A and B are shown apart, each in its own frame.
Chain A
Amino acid sequence: MAFNSVRYILVQGLVSLKRNLWLSLASILTVAVSLILLGSSIIFLANTATIAKTFESQVQIAVFLDDKLNDGQVVAIQNRIKNLPGIESVTLTTKEQALWEFQESMSTTSLLEDLGGINPFPDKITIVATDPKLVQGIASQVEKISGVESVRYGQGILEKLLAFTNWLRWIGVAVVAAFTFAALLLISLSIKTNVNSREKEIQIMRLVGASNSFIRWPFIIEGLVVGLVGALVAVVAVGFAYSWLLQYIISTLAFIPVVANQQFLLMVFLIMMLGGMLMGTLASVISVRKFLRF
């Protein structure tokens, strides 16, 4: 394409932004609102996933062993458990360790004597599963190993927790999907209004022999600029809002695990910027296509 045309297209894209100032502002605002929705829903999703994961990772299986086992048998059981599928880690707490830990927590040094020389703690093996859904299966297998006296993993509560975290994840995904859809709809609507308002111009361009790409490019550039500016507004808004929210949560509701790492936020902002440009461009292409069918 000739230099004259490229310059015309660039200038035209920007001039039409200025000429249709209110419409452009409305489009920018639409993009910004859409991306704020998108960005916050991604952050929401990440946080629900983290919360779910944190809760789930706290699920452990406690295996209490028979008192009469010797050290070799204990190690054998430990190894058998290690070889089960879906095991993340196996930690042995011997009865001596258990006693010592309890003694520490009681801040006394003569617990064993107080108990009459008998250590009441059993040997305990703590199992963490790779996936909390496997906990039940692992527990029932471990129960069958001889020398295992009892297995505890918060029966009943685990099922409820899993149901809750699943539900939390689905909500996160649903929120992202709904808002992405709404954002696309809003943007294409506002660009469509823009294109419709210039239907006559496009008609005349076609009539005097402007090529399709020549007609399309100013709109694409306009969409790109609208998307970019809208995304900037959204990034600033989400950035400030989230940092405020983080401080609030950390200072008052510290037990809720939040996602606060910089890399994650940068990634979200990058997604928003790219999303804005993509949405703006795509909406332009789609809206203007209607007029370029011959």
Chain B
Amino acid sequence: MIKLKNVSKIYPNGARALMGVNLRIAKGEFVFLVGPSGAGKSTLIKLLYREEIATRGQVLINNINLVRLKNSQIPALRRNMGVIFQDFKLLPNKTVFENVAFALQVIGKNKKEIRESTLSMLDLVGLSSKVKAFPSELSGGEQQRVCVARALVNRPGLLIADEPTGNLDVDTAWGIVDLLDKINKYGTTVVMATHALQIVEQMNKRVVRVEGGRIIEDKAGEEVRIGI
């Protein structure tokens, strides 16, 4: 599903974020991306949803080279992936329902579809009772669940998570990771950048370690399910 071939990223200010990175992630995998701050994790994640463009090499998602992607094709790419962040990025003046429905409205779905998909996704993340609440009335964990629901509401094949538990306490963090694991079991590929080593160890998934812009370790998990 994801292929990085000899990818380097040098920012306009000269900072070398990634150097000659090769990485393959198959459909249905759950991959942790770990490494110290400034190692290049975030850059790698940004290349995947085309917020940044690789300076050299190829970034392929479903055999589409993102380096050559036209700007006008970015919306179509993003409709096939969900992205969640450390800082949630919810709209404060919209309710939980509206925040999730927003992702469907902007791609032109009709009211009935929006209502059905949004409610079933909020049910999946366990927020059926908070449909009418505003983000400020929710805990951090609940807010991140809304983000997960929004990221997945149009059923993408790939979920990208950039430090999704960075702002959460340990118990809440586990709640989110369990949710991502559940989603992964339904068939969605998950790539998660994180600092939470305890979670990484206990989950026993594939771990890709990035340091100084290079992949220095790629350890398969116990339950590898390549090719599903």
Contacts and interface: CB of A to CB of B under 8 A. Distances in A.
Return the 3 tightest CB-CB contacts between A and B, nearest first.
Answer: A210-B106, A209-B79, A209-B78
A200 B91 contact: yes
Contacts of A205: 102, 106
Contacts of B93: 19
Interface in B64-85: 71-72, 74-79, 83
Contacts of B24: none
Interface stretch (B107-115, B136-144, B173-181): B107-115
B89 A204 contact: yes
B105 interface: yes
B89 A4 contact: no
Given A201-B91, A294-B50, A208 B72 contact: no
B45 interface: no
A211 B71 contact: no
A4 B110 CA distance: 6
A207 B48 CA distance: 12
A90 to B, nearest CB: 69
Given A208-B150, A209-B76, A210-B75, A203 B89 contact: yes
B78 A4 contact: no
A2 B50 contact: no
Contacts of B110: 4
A214 interface: yes
Given A4-B111, A214-B106, 16 more contacts: A2-B108, A4-B108, A203-B89, A204-B89, A204-B102, A206-B74, A206-B75, A207-B49, A207-B89, A208-B102, A208-B106, A209-B76, A209-B79, A209-B154, A212-B72, A294-B74
Interface in A1-57: 1-2, 4-5, 8, 19
A8 B110 CA distance: 10
B12 to A, nearest CB: 13
B143 to A, nearest CB: 13
Contacts of A212: 71-72, 75
A294 B102 contact: no
A5 B154 CA distance: 16
Q: SS class of chain A's interface: helix, strand, loop or mixed?
A: helix
Interface of A: 1-2, 4-5, 8, 19, 200-201, 203-212, 214-215, 294
A201 B108 CA distance: 17
A231 B111 CA distance: 36
Give the most central of A203, A209, A211, A212: most B CB within 10 Å.
Answer: A209
Contacts of B78: 206-209
Nearest to B94: A201
A139 to B, nearest CB: 68
A5 B105 CA distance: 7
Contacts of A19: 93
Nearest to A1: B108
Contacts of B83: 207
A5 B104 CA distance: 10
B207 interface: no
Nearest to B151: A208
Interface string B158-188: 0000000000000000000000000000000
A206 B110 CA distance: 19
Contacts of B106: 8, 205, 208-210, 214-215
Give the most central of B74, B107, B108, B150: most A CB within 10 Å.
Answer: B108
A8 B105 contact: yes
Given A1-B108, A4-B109, A209 B89 contact: no
A4 B104 CA distance: 11
A13 to B, nearest CB: 14
B73 to A, nearest CB: 10
A204 B111 CA distance: 20
B122 interface: no
B26 to A, nearest CB: 24
Give the most central of A4, A200, A207, A210: most B CB within 10 Å.
Answer: A207
Nearest to B111: A4
Interface in B36-74: 49-50, 71-72, 74
A42 B17 CA distance: 56
B4 interface: no
B91 A204 contact: yes
Contacts of A207: 49, 78, 83, 89
Contacts of B72: 211-212
B142 to A, nearest CB: 18
Nearest to A6: B108
A294 B74 CA distance: 9
